[in-house]
Amino acid sequence: MKIDPSKLDWRDAHELLVGAVLPRPIAFVSTIGENGVNNVAPFSFFTSISVKPAYVGFSVGRYREGRKKDTLVNIEFSNDFVINIVTEELIDAMNQASKDYPSDVDEFKEAGLTPVKGDLVRSPMVAESPVNMECRLVQIMQFGEAPRINNFVIGEVLRVHVKDYLWMDNKIKADRLKAVGRLGEELYCRTTDMFEKKRPLTL
C-alpha cells in the first residue's frame, strides 16, 4: 500500500498520521481566559523541542468552521500555559476535558480537577498531575488552509514541578510516573511494559 497524504481528505489524512505516529505523549494544557475562566484540554501532537533553552510544543487544530479553540485563544491572551502530564489516574478526567465546552465553562470543575496557582505564569496547574511544566509563549506557527488550520504552539519551560516520589538520582523515574500515551482511533496505552536497550558505545 502506497499512500499520498496530499490526495486524501482531511479526515483520512488525520487518521493516517495518528495511526502511524504512536504512541504519542499527551499535553494536558491548562490556560486561563481573558474572562478569568480556567481551561484544560488534551493535545496529543506534543513533543519536546530543545533542552537549552527548554522548549516544548504542541499542535492545536481548529473547529470545523475554522473557529479557534479556547486553549489557543487563551494563550494568545496570557502568553503562557501549563503542560500537565497525564497518568493512568488522570485518564478519565482528561477524557472528560476533551469535550467541547463553551468558553465560559470552567473545565477544571467539569473534569473534577483542582487548579493550583503557578509560580511564574498566570495559567493554573493541575494539582492531580505529578508533573507540571510552566511555559511562556515563544511562538505560534500556522499551517494548512481555512477552515482546517493547525497552529503549533512553542513555549519555553520556565519551571517544572515534579512530585517527590518520582524524583530519584536527578531523574524522573518512568516506571513510577505511569504516563498514558495516545494511539489511533479511540485507543490509549500504558507505559508499564518497558524494556531496556543500551546504546552502542562510541569509539
Q: Is residue 16 part of a domain?
A: no
Lowest model confidence (mean pLDDT) among 135-144, 152-161, 184-193: 184-193
Span 87-94, average pLDDT:
97
How many domains would you assign to the chain? 1
Q: Which residues is 159 bridged to in the sheet?
A: 134
For residue 14, is it within any domain?
Answer: no
* Cis amide bond preceding 124, omega within 30: no
d(CA 134, CA 160) in angstroms, rounded, equals: 6
The pTM for the full model equals 0.93
In contact, 176 and 163? CB cutoff 8 Å:
no
Confidence of residue 133 (pLDDT cuts 50, 70, 90): very high
CATH code, domain carrying 144? 2.30.110.10
Which domain range does residue 39 map to? 25-190
Is there a domain that residue 123 lies in? yes
